[in-house]
Amino acid sequence: MTQTDAGGADAFVRFDHVQKSYDGETLVVKDLNLAIAKGEFLTMLGPSGSGKTTCLMMLAGFETATHGDIKLDGRPINNIPPHKRGIGMVFQNYALFPHMTVAENLSFPLEVRGLGKSEREQKVKRALDMVQMGAFGGRRPAQLSGGQQQRIALARALVFEPELVLMDEPLGALDKQLREHMQFEITRLAHELGITTVYVTHDQTEALTMSDNIAVFDDGRIQQLAPPAKLYEEPENSFVAQFIGENNTLLGTVKEIKGEIAIVQLDDGELIDAKPVNVSKPGERTRVSIRPERVEYNKARLQQGVHTLKAEVLEFIYMGDIFRTRLRVAGNDDFVVKTRNAPDQIRLEPGSQIEIGWLPQDCRALDA
């Protein structure tokens, strides 16, 4: 799913200049523009308080936008009665019906839609099996653990095969193994049934592995909207570079920009090559950003003529599949290099002095 698919007039979900204030003073959503295509799996990723749940609540119709429009399948959401919205929702706090058993919780959305008894039973069973809760149909929510309640909430949102599912941190209470299993099940099901999904998480690995597109939220705005690989490899600003994946940064000043290459003078005086991303002229302050796996210390692999930097090895950590080496580079003691554990890979010794470099396109000159 590409961004342009959803960018057209046929977007299934569209936020158009949406703003939200709860108190009439501060905007918690400042200017939200987002188009989601039918069948797309979109994740909202961002720090606590950045407005993710608020956006889901507006889309579900539990909160109204202070300004702007939200459209579902081309129609303003306000004009569609809740029961006709076809939206399944998993809330951050589960919100199961406490007086109903698990099976009744799941059966309820099917009853509302007029499904017969045998069809309901069959769908409830399938949904419970999906979340590995087949044996718990007769219990009430209060008799379940937090993770089990979360799985029931997930099953209830999917049981009626809605066109649109909104999920707010649906896997937060689960252990790593179950979480990974559910990540796989949710994406498989969503794609199989052609469900459009808006998914909220803090967990960037979860966002990267599950999504067609990720919207990175901060300060009530989308900082970048892109497919996982583009977001990781081509962050458009320092916030996104820092928030997604591990990242090394060095502060400096732009010396010169020659087409696709910016020469940056680091604060300790050394020069490096970077790709100018959101810097445009000499004299500007910049924070250059380079991923740990794109740093090279094997000179044979560096391009001729690129600037290299002196580095001191501070720590070498053997992690099995990779080596993680911590360096001091231009005054930064937390500069990390990750290398694959290959038979011919050099294992760096703490205390040794080395030179590092990178392809200029892997090092991004961003806002300081």
Ligand X SMILES: Nc1ncnc2c1ncn2[C@@H]1O[C@H](COP(=O)(O)OP(=O)(O)OP(=O)(O)O)[C@@H](O)[C@H]1O
Residues found near ligand X in the complex (CB under 6 A): 22, 28, 46, 48-54, 92, 202
Smallest gap from Cβ 199 to ligand X, in A, equals: 12
Q: Which is nearer to ligand X, 48 or 145 (CB)?
A: 48
Cβ-based nearer residue to ligand X, 55 or 277? 55
- Residue nearer to ligand X on the CB measure, 53 or 223: 53
Q: Angle, nearest 10°, between helix axes 117-130 and 146-158?
A: 130
Nearest to 238 by CA among 254, 256, 223, 259: 223
**Identity of the residue, 53 or 339, whose beta carbon is nearer to Mg ion in the bound complex:** 53
In contact, 145 and 153? CB cutoff 8 Å:
no
Binders in 159-188 for Mg ion, by CB under 5 A: none
Half-sphere exposure of 325 (CA within 13 A, CB side): 28
**CB nearer to Mg ion: pick between 211 and 308:** 211
Q: How far is the CB of 227 from ligand X (least distance, A)?
A: 22
**Residue 205: helix, strand or coil by DSSP?**
helix
The entry of ligand X, Mg ion, none near residue 324 (CB within 5 to 8 angstroms by kind) is none
CB 207, min distance to Mg ion, A: 14
Choice between 91 and 160, CB closer to ligand X = 91
Which of 50, 53, 197, 211 touches Mg ion by CB under 5 A? 53
- Report, in Å, the least distance between residue 20 CB and ligand X: 8
What is the dihedral angle through the alpha carbons of 17, 67, 20, 34, rounded to the nearest 10 degrees? -20
Q: How far is the CB of 24 from ligand X (least distance, A)?
A: 11
Specify whether the CB–CB gap between 52 and 168 falls below 8 A.
Answer: yes
| Cα dihedral across residues 168, 172, 178, 183: positive or negative | positive
Q: What residue 28 binds from ligand X, Mg ion, none (CB within 5 to 8 A, per partner kind)?
A: ligand X
282 binding partner (options Mg ion, ligand X, none; Cβ < 5 to 8 Å by kind): none
CB of 129 to Mg ion, least distance (A): 29
Nearest distance, CB of residue 209 and Mg ion, angstroms: 20
Q: Tell me which H or E stretch contains 177.
A: helix 176-193
DSSP 8-state symbol, 297: -
**Start-to-end C-alpha separation, the chain:** 32
Q: Which helix (H) or strand (E) holds 105?
A: helix 102-112
Nearest CA among 94, 179, 105, 166 for reference residue 139? 105
- What's the CA gap between 40 and 241, in Å, rounded? 24
From 51-59, 102-110, 124-132, 210-218, span contacting Mg ion (CB under 5 A): 51-59
**How many residues belong to the site for Mg ion (CB under 5 A)?**
1
Q: What SS3 class is residue 349? A: coil
Between residues 201 and 339, which has the closer beta carbon with respect to ligand X?
A: 201
> Which positions touch Mg ion (CB under 5 A)?
53
